[in-house]
Amino acid sequence: MSFSISGKTAIVTGASSGIGLAIGKQFAEQGANVMFADHSEKDLISELDKYADDDNVAYFAGDLRERLTIANLLSATIDTFDQIDILVNGARQVVPSDPLDPNDTSTEILLGQTLLPTLRLSQQVARRMMKQAEDRDEDDNTPAGSIINLSSIAARRTHPELLAYSVTSAALDQVTRSLAVALAPHKIRVNSVAFGSVMSASMKTILKENRSFRQDIEQHTPLGRIASPTELADAAQFLASDAAGFMTGQIVTLDGGRTLLDPVAAPVH
């Protein structure tokens, strides 16, 4: 069984930092062509400087809330690498919520910044994957593409202060399932990685500001630690590879066992 993604082309969003960056770098190091996409060109240039001479690495900066930006991202990827085999929707954001405030806009913000770009980009990439597969033999069961969404165990937990994040994560899971069924006849697989606490850049900032928070997280995680971004990258690579060729519509949980416990006061970050 091979987890190889060598020679495949991937778009990774949210790729200028944290989990998206870790996934993009691992894919590139494993021989995939990778288009790193994010809104901050400055951050992309800074993080990808060491790959400047690598033919299998490129970047695209733009606001994926805009439909034209999504179209331009696809065009840039095809112009650079000729095809698209993998999409990782890694752009995500946590916004605090006040569930009792009728003027709270956190849900609208996250649905607009995370859910809609994920859905629209997935739809456009899927159309490209379908076009690429048109010339294949009818009996060719090789997957035409793999779409991977990054979600959160917040979708299954109840923390009112994270209402918008939880709602958006739950919606992403449903997008995963719905697209998986809709795209299955076209041999395009759609899966999601729902994670708990990960040592991202934002997590490091939180832990610096509140040193007791690490202990709180570890106490409520059976494996007793916070995940590294590379562990999510490993899961994403598996889902992108042919080793997961009969797997679609699944929400793969990567949380150190946290969702096995009864609900606790500690929020998911």
φ, ψ (nearest 5 deg) of residue 246? -110, 25
CA-wise closest residue to 146 among 119, 172, 183, 115: 183
Q: Which residues contact 148 (CB under 8 A, 6 or more apart)?
A: 86, 87, 88, 89, 190, 191, 192, 193, 236, 239, 240
Here the tokens at position 213 are 């928070």
Residue 241 pLDDT: 97
Residues of the chain with pLDDT under 70: 1, 262-269
* Share of residues in the chain with pLDDT > 90 (%): 75
Residue 209 pLDDT: 82
- How far, in Å, CA of 56 to CA of 81, rounded? 8
Locate tokens 């690490």: which residue? Answer: 214
Do the beta carbons of residue 241 and residue 8 sit within 8 Å?
A: no
Residue 267 pLDDT: 54
Q: Which residues contact 257 (CB under 8 A, 6 or more apart)?
A: 221, 222, 223
- How far, in Å, CA of 78 to CA of 86, rounded? 12
The secondary structure of the chain, three-state, reads CCCCCCCCEEEEECCCCHHHHHHHHHHHHCCCEEEEEECCHHHHHHHCHHHCCCCCEEEEECCCCCHHHHHHHHHHHHHHHCCCCEEEECCCCCCCCCCCCCCCCHHHHHHHHHHHHHHHHHHHHHHHHHHHCCCCCCCCCCCCEEEEEEEEHHHHCCCHHHHHHHHHHHHHHHHHHHHHHHHHHHCEEEEEEEECCECCHHHHHHHHHCCHHHHHHHHCCCCCCCECHHHHHHHHHHHHCHHHCCCCCCEEEECCCHHHCCCCCCCCC
- Domains by residue range for the chain, with CATH: 9-196+229-256 (3.40.50.720)
Residue 57 pLDDT: 97
| Residue 73: HSE in the Cβ half-sphere, 13 Å Cα cutoff | 30
pTM, to two decimals: 0.93
Angle (CA) 143 73 166, round 5°: 75
Do the beta carbons of residue 188 and residue 147 sit within 8 Å?
A: yes
